[in-house]
């Protein structure tokens, strides 16, 4: 099962409940670790860049290095920068690796897109009203202003990235078998998915 979600709707928590109900392995933060392994970086570096467009300063720096410095290196020593496009490319490998071990609940990282041709994968999109997501984040200990900012920007950044790297709208509704409003409750949604 591939689960994509809006930020703050409780997707990770619901995925964990679902994995427990089904007795399947959960691949959520494990995907970040796998992407870090495949890119020879750290999970923290991946989290900073995954599914977000690279900042302008980083793009300029990357262009400078590739044009001025890296071009002089022998091909075997080429500098591999960890940028959003590289993470997107490696994410497909990580998602397929996760699924290779048997039934899994896979959270995000483009899994609904990368697994779109597989008939044995149920693809779900989880969403919730804006106020519900903000309140959920506040309850989790995030200050109100930060919760509002994150709810209003993180999904917009994801949509921008998906448009640039995959040439899709986010969420691309035709990729999903079902969409659930998580305001119905984590346990209820997990049980419905099971």
CATH number reported for the structural domain that contains residue 170 in this entry: 3.40.50.300
d(CA 20, CA 149): 32
Q: What is the pLDDT of residues 127-174, one digit of tens each?
A: 999 999 999 999 999 999 999 999 999 999 888 877 877 788 888 899
Per the structure, the complete domain to which residue 92 belongs is given by: 2-193
- Stretch 14-24: mean pLDDT: 97
Domain count along the chain: 1
Query: E strands of 19-166, at which residues?
Result: 25-27, 104-107, 123-127
Residue 52 has pLDDT above 60, yes or no: no
- Residue count of the chain: 194
Q: Look up residue 118 and give its two tokens.
A: 């597989």
The C-alpha atoms of residue 97 and residue 64 are separated, in whole angstroms, by 34
């Amino acid at each position: 099962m591939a689960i994509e979600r809006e930020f703050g709707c409780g997707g990770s928590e619901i995925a964990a409940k679902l994995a427990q109900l089904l007795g399947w392995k959960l691949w959520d933060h494990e995907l970040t670790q796998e992407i870090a392994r495949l890119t020879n970086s750290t999970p923290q570096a991946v989290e900073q860049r995954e599914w977000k467009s690279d900042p302008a300063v980083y793009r300029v720096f990357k262009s400078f290095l590739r044009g001025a410095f890296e071009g002089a290196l022998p091909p075997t020593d080429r500098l591999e920068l960890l940028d959003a496009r590289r993470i997107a490319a490696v994410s497909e490998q990580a998602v397929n690796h996760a699924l290779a071990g048997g039934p899994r609940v896979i959270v995000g990282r483009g899994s609904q897109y990368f697994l779109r041709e597989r008939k044995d994968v149920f693809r779900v999109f989880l969403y919730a009203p804006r106020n519900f997501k903000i309140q959920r984040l506040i309850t989790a200990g995030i200050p109100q202003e930060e919760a509002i900012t994150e709810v209003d920007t993180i999904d917009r950044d994801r949509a921008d990235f998906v448009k640039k790297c995959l040439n899709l709208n986010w969420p691309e509704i035709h990729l999903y078998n079902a969409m659930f409003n998580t305001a119905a409750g984590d346990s209820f949604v997990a049980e419905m998915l099971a």
